[in-house]
Amino acid sequence: MVLFSAALLAVVQFQTVAAIRSLTIDTTSGSVQGFICDKTPNVAQFLGIPFAEPPVGARRWLPPSPKSREEGKIDATSFGPSCPQFEIDASVEPSVYLIDAPEFNITPKDDQNEDCLSINVWTPWDETQNQGDATESLPVIVWLYGGGFTGGGATSPYYNPTSWIERSGKHIVVGINYRVNIFGFPNAAGLPAGEQNLGILDQRLGLEWIRDNIAKFGGDPDRITLWGQSAGAMSVDYHNFAYPEDPIVSGLIMNSGVTKLPKISADVEQTNFTFVADHFGCCKGSAAEEVECLRNVSSSTIMSYLKARADNRTTPSLGFSQFVDNRIIFADYTARALAGNFSRKPAIIGSTESEANGAMPYNRTYGPNQALSDALTTAFFLCPTVQTTQDRYTANATTFRYIYSGNFSNISPLWWEGAYHAAELPLIFGTYGIVRGEGTELQKELSEKMQDYWLAFAEDPVNGLPKLGWESYKPSGNFVLFGKDNQAVTTVPASKLEAPCHAKPSGLPLPA
């Protein structure tokens, strides 16, 4: 790994970039006032900037509208509310994320409100710098949180990039809040077919806001990388296909999620929304009247009803997530890829070694049925990613492939948890040491290398990683392994990792 280490050191030592020196920034939403935190004095933070009109009242279940400019100064010193959602009680459905690593969840004191469509910007800060000396705008990494399209938000303690930016001093991270659950993905018969995946439309409007405003924060609108994990990664790939002619972004990063991950709403008859409407006495007219009536029920009341059903395991279960509408989300991604109907932007795509360990029935003492967990990881994460990579290779789109295998006790405190779904995120964000110990030297080394790879890709999606020794995918080439066998970075032949996907695992459906 000498090539990796030497190249990374050279990049860190010799590249100089710009930083902003004003905490008041004029945007299309209005003038925003940011702040500096004592723990990261070289990072300016602008939190909770509204990018859309509040999707409340008559705007509920409509595509987002750009935020009109506010008079006066917008206070951007704290996170905006998270979008309405609920969390199943740990006593009902215990999990790694509720018991062992709750830092992946939005904070318990976090406000929830339908007026939740906001942007968070973290950018290098240097009040002593002469603004006129700036020679280069900074690459921008836009973060989309996961949560199965039913939850998630910006306030997760693990998703704070300030220490990463403090370390690099040469990139910007922007987070987009988007609607989830029934408010983001209603799948209602009374709404137009192309307006069911509202959460993805929120993300798109957020990207447009970033394109139009990021230069004011020191960012380069021509170097925006869209990055997500799980549902956020699937969203990244959805944008890749939904906006092939105007993707806005220059690169894509998908952690544990692609369009082929088999998680699409099974409610093809659109009955779940009607079931909720009926509970609130809203099924006395047409489908459109059903929607209009339910707009008059508060979001907290609707969420309380859905949570009670989930906690009590009431049947039928009611789920609200992304839906094939043939505008934003399609059913024929391989055909589209082979026809070249996607952005063709370079991509980093990968997954973790033990994805399903965090989703299996929770047994604190004995862990999951590991054979079944491994089979689910293969079927629902590894193989969809392999197929996506091969489709991209056939279409001549540059792809960099990885597997994350890190196993650190402050992220995976129980012996059986390993590199479960999302376990790599605290290392990339640099937040792995906020609870349960500061971590090991290997963890620090791996964290910094992953950060530097992500940044090199954001700086130059085509050539940045090859300069560090990470070559793009080809069938005869290698995957990069992160954290395997007590080494920060190693490689493995692609053919070895892809082998399990050549045969259907017994008893498991393998995505097409």
pLDDT at 129: 59
Query: Which pLDDT score is estimated for 155?
Result: 93
Any domain includes 509 = no
The pLDDT, as a whole number, for residue 147 is: 95
| 287 and 197 both lie in a single domain | no
Tokens of 472: 């793009």
93/224 same-domain check: yes
* Boundary residue ending a domain (286, 319, 352): 319
Length of the chain: 512
Phi-psi domain of 433 (left: phi exceeds 0; alpha: psi -120 through 50; beta: other)? alpha
338 — phi, psi (to 5°)? -65, -25
| Sequence-separated (6 or more) residues with CB below 8 Å from residue 273 | 182, 186, 187, 188, 189, 190, 290, 291, 294, 320
Asked if 111 and 56 sit in the same domain, the reply is yes
Per-residue model confidence (pLDDT) at position 503: 66
pLDDT of residue 453: 98
507 found inside a domain = no
Q: What's the domain range around 383?
A: 2-265+321-502
**Is residue 199, in this structure, part of any structural domain at all?**
yes
Given 287, 319, 351, the domain boundary residue is: 319
Say whether both 235 and 249 belong to one domain: yes
Q: What's the domain count of the chain?
A: 2
- pLDDT < 70 regions, the chain: 1-19, 128-135, 263, 503-512
Q: Could you tell me if 224 and 172 lie in one domain?
A: yes
Q: What is the pLDDT of residue 367?
A: 96
Whether residue 31 is contained in a domain is answered as: yes
The residues annotated with a catalytic role in the active site are 230, 355, 421
Tokens (6 digits) for 412: 């995976």
Does residue 179 sit within a domain? yes
Based on the domain organization, do 92 and 48 belong to the same domain? Answer: yes
Q: Is the pTM of this model over 0.85?
A: yes
Examine the domain organization and report whether 245 and 282 are in the same domain.
no
Q: Please report the pLDDT score of residue 505 as a whole number.
A: 47
Q: What is the pLDDT, as a whole number, of residue 7?
A: 41
In this prediction, residue 268 carries a pLDDT of 86
Domain stops at, among 275, 291, 319: 319
Does residue 510 fall inside a structural domain?
A: no
Please tell me the chain's helix, strand, coil percentages from 3-state DSSP, rounded to the nearest 5: 35, 15, 45
Examine the domain organization and report whether 125 and 41 are in the same domain.
yes
CB atoms within 10 A of CB 445: 15
Question: Do residue 304 and residue 435 come from a single domain?
Answer: no
Q: Is residue 82 part of a domain?
A: yes
**Is the domain of 459 the same as that of 313?**
no
Look at residue 312 and tell me if it is in a domain: yes
Same domain, 257 and 281: no
Residues 6 or more apart whose Cβ sits within 8 Å of residue 472:
346, 398, 399, 400, 465, 466
Q: Each residue of 259-306: pLDDT tens digit?
A: 998 767 778 889 999 999 999 999 888 999 999 999 999 999 999 999
Do both 200 and 292 map to the same domain? no
The CATH number of the domain holding residue 48 is 3.40.50.1820
H/E segment holding residue 123: strand 118-124
